[in-house]
Amino acid sequence: MYKVRLWSVRRSRFMEGLYNTVNPAIIAVLKGITKVFGKKLDKPITAAEAGLKGFLFDCQMCGNCALSKTGMSCPMNCPKTIRNGPCGGVRPNGMCEVKPEMRCVWVAAWDGASRMKDGDAIKSIDFAVDHREKGTSTWLKLAREELAEDAK
């Protein structure tokens, strides 16, 4: 939802804190679930992630989540899906060139990042999205990466 999305960016610092506390717990639970159930619960877990992040950020489930590096403003809501924005077409009032009724997601991103502890992460380059991961859960990806790391 657009209004909730703007709210999340305004509270980017709170969201960052929430993410930093809750995320490790989610990953730990998902590691446990993966150990017991394998991939059997992937569908409901992915749906839960899509539901929650969809509500808070209008998440598009690109599978390459960068929210913590983009001021809690999801770059996939940019009509050009720019990952290192903004483009040069932003309107003088900070609204999107393509959708004049929408605040530029990258104006929001730099604004959100300015309030975050690790806001400088926005200055690092986010290379193009891996389109194979569209629709997949970033949480499960992180959990499984950690499991693979643990197994080493």
Partner 1 sequence: MIEEIQDAETLGTNPGDPLPQLPGHVSHGRFERVLRAGHFAVTTEIAPPDSADPDEVLTRASLFDGYVDAINATDGSGAHCHMSSLAVCAILTRAGYSPILQISCRDRNRIAIQGDTLGAAALGVCNALCLSGDDVGAGDHPEAKPVFDFDSVSLTRTLRVLRDESRFLSGRKLDLAPKLFIGSSINPFVPPIANRADQLAKKIEAGAEYIQSQYCFDMDVLKDFMSKAVDMGLTEKAYILIGVGVLPSARTAKWMRANVPGVHIPDNIIKRLEGADKPLREGRNICVEIMQQLKETAGVSGVHVMAYRQEKWVKDVVKRSGVLDGRVPWSPETEELN
Footprint of partner 1 (CB under 8 A)? 79-94, 97-98, 104, 106-107, 110-111, 122-123, 125, 127-128, 131
By beta-carbon proximity to partner 1, the closer residue of 57 and 106 is: 106
By beta-carbon proximity to partner 1, the closer residue of 36 and 127 is: 127
d(CA 152, CA 137): 23
First-to-last alpha carbon distance for the chain, in angstroms, is: 41
d(CA 116, CA 114): 6
CB atoms within 10 A of CB 43: 10
Q: In angstroms, what is the minimal distance from the CB of 43 to partner 1? A: 27
Q: In angstroms, what is the minimal distance from the CB of 106 to partner 1? A: 8
Q: In angstroms, what is the minimal distance from the CB of 14 to partner 1? A: 21
d(CA 112, CA 70): 7
